[in-house]
Amino acid sequence: MINIPFIHDFFWEGFPSNKDQLLDFIENAQEDKNQQHTWTEHCFIEVKGLQIEYNTVHNFIPLLTTFFQDLETISNSGIQLTGLWVNTYKRYFFQEVHDHFPSHISGVLFLTDQQEGDAKFYFANKNSSQVQKPLFNLVDSSNNVFAARRYIKAERGKVILFPSYLQHGVTAHKSDYPRRTASFNFNIVDAVT
C-alpha cells in the first residue's frame, strides 16, 4: 500500500451547488476601477478586475463549504475574498507558471467549455525533475503522479480550488474562439466568535 506522509500539493475539482448563480454573478459583476495588474507582465492575457463588495464572498459560500467538508476540515474561521478577475484568452494568449502567494486559497471558474485548440489550464509539478526516468515510466501515464504537468479539462461552471502556493499556468491558445475563466483568491481570517 502506498502511503503519503505529507499532503501539500492537492486541488479540489467540481461543480458548486449554486453553479448558475455563481456564473450569473461573475458575468454581470461590475468592473473594478483599479485595473492595474502588475502580475500580467510575464504573460499574454486580457484581464478585467471585478469589484469586490462586502457581500461578494457570499456567492462563494456553497463552494467553500463543500471544499472544507471534502478536506474533512471544520473551520470556524472567516473567509475574505481578496481578488476576483475575469481572464480572456485570444489566439496566442497564455499564462506563465505562477502561484498566488501570499493568498491562502485560490480558484478558477471555467466560463467556457474546452474546445479544439483552446488553451489548457495545468498544475506544474515543481518536483518532477527529481524523478528518474525508470520510476516515471512505471506509473500509468493517464494518472502519473510524477508528471511535470497535470491538465484540467475546462467545463462551463466547473471550479477548481487549490492552495495558493501551488504552481499553475495556461498553455498558448490556438483558437479564434475566446476562452474565458474567472479567477479568485481567498484568505482565511481569524476565528469568528
pLDDT in tens, 164-175: 999 999 999 999
pLDDT for the residue numbered 128: 64
Q: Which CATH number fits domain 13-119+152-191: 2.60.120.620, 3.40.1380.10, 2.70.70.10, 2.40.30.260?
A: 2.60.120.620
- Cα–Cα dist 121/154, whole Å: 8
Hey, where are the domains in the chain? 13-119+152-191
Q: How large a percentage of the chain has pLDDT more than 90? A: 55
Beta bridge partner(s), residue 159: 14, 109
Q: Are 147 and 124 in contact (CB under 8 A)?
A: no
pLDDT for the residue numbered 144: 60
Q: What is the mean pLDDT of residues 76-88?
A: 88
Query: Could you tell me which residues come within 8 angstroms of residue 84 by beta carbon, excluding any fewer than 6 positions away?
Result: 29, 49, 50, 52, 56, 182, 183, 184, 185
Q: Please give the torsion angle defined by the CA atoms of residues 48, 67, 5 and 145, in that order, rounded to the nearest 10 degrees.
A: -60
Closest CA to 44 of 182, 183, 169: 169
pTM of the entire predicted model: 0.85
Tens digits of per-residue pLDDT, 13-34? 999 999 999 999 999 998 888 8
> At 79, which amino acid appears?
I
- Cα–Cα dist 122/54, whole Å: 31
Tens digits of per-residue pLDDT, 95-153? 999 999 999 999 999 999 999 999 999 999 876 666 656 655 555 555 566 677 889 99
